[in-house]
Amino acid sequence: MTATPGQQPIVLLLSGPNLELLGQRQPLIYGTSTLSDHVAAATQEASRLGMVLEHLQSDSESVLVEAVHGARTRCAAIVVNGAALTHYGWSLHDALAAYDGPVVELHISNPNLREPWRHTSVLAPVATASIAGLGGHGYPLAVLAAARLLGLDPAPAPAPPVASAE
């Protein structure tokens, strides 16, 4: 893990092109919550799990690639909503392939239920896990998935007691 003793592990949330328009952009598909709302939910979940969330949004693939390079020695995990880069961003793929920690691919919508060109994810082969189609709920869930992959999630709540047959 990349956190030094005494420091909280960092999870890096990356947001690709056009996601800064969430809240205004195709609300029937992406909902009315803004990117700030999603980042706040992810930050809260990270804090609950003893992690620190950093977020970067860019419309430029090179900025995201450089952020992945910077995460290599600094961040314990990456959550990435690559937006349209998901479908053609091979340099983002290659950067993530060179990253050692868990990578959680995240989508608000379910691209597999949409236009055929969205059915291919070039990030999926370098993602440890993928979450799609859960709307904004996917943001805290992706952070939880990252924590689980890092072994940081506290023990799940015990199952409720089964009613006795007596």
Residue 56: alpha-carbon gap to chain centroid = 12
Q: Does 84 bind ligand DQA (CB under 6 A)?
A: yes
Among 93, 99, 107, 139, the active-site one is 107
Q: Which of 31, 44, 57 is nearest to 144 (CA)?
A: 44
Binding region for ligand DQA (CB under 6 A) out of 48-56, 65-73, 103-111, 140-148:
103-111
Cβ distance to ligand DQA smaller for residue 67 or 83: 83
Binding region for ligand DQA (CB under 6 A) out of 47-55, 70-78, 92-100, 105-113:
105-113
Lookup result for tokens 């999630």: 153
| Residue nearest ligand DQA, Cβ-based | 83
Q: Does 108 bind ligand DQA (CB under 6 A)?
A: yes
Q: Is 87 noted as a catalytic residue in this protein?
A: no
Q: Does 121 bind ligand DQA (CB under 6 A)?
A: no
CA 131 to CA 45: how far, in whole Å?
Answer: 16
Element (H, E) at 130: strand 129-132
Tell me whether residue 73 is exposed, middle or buried, using C-beta atoms within 10 angstroms of its C-beta: 0 to 12, 13 to 18, 19 or more: exposed
Q: Does 34 bind ligand DQA (CB under 6 A)?
A: no
If you ran DSSP here, which 8-state letter would residue 60 be given? Answer: -
Q: Does 83 bind ligand DQA (CB under 6 A)?
A: yes
Residue 15 phi, psi (nearest 5): -120, 125
Binding region for ligand DQA (CB under 6 A) out of 1-9, 38-46, 57-65, 107-115:
107-115
* Rg (alpha carbons) of the chain, rounded to whole number: 17
Q: Is 69 noted as a catalytic residue in this protein?
A: no
Residue 40 tokens read as: 């706040």
Q: Does 118 bind ligand DQA (CB under 6 A)?
A: yes
Positions touching ligand DQA (CB under 6 A) are 18, 81, 83-84, 86, 107-109, 111, 118
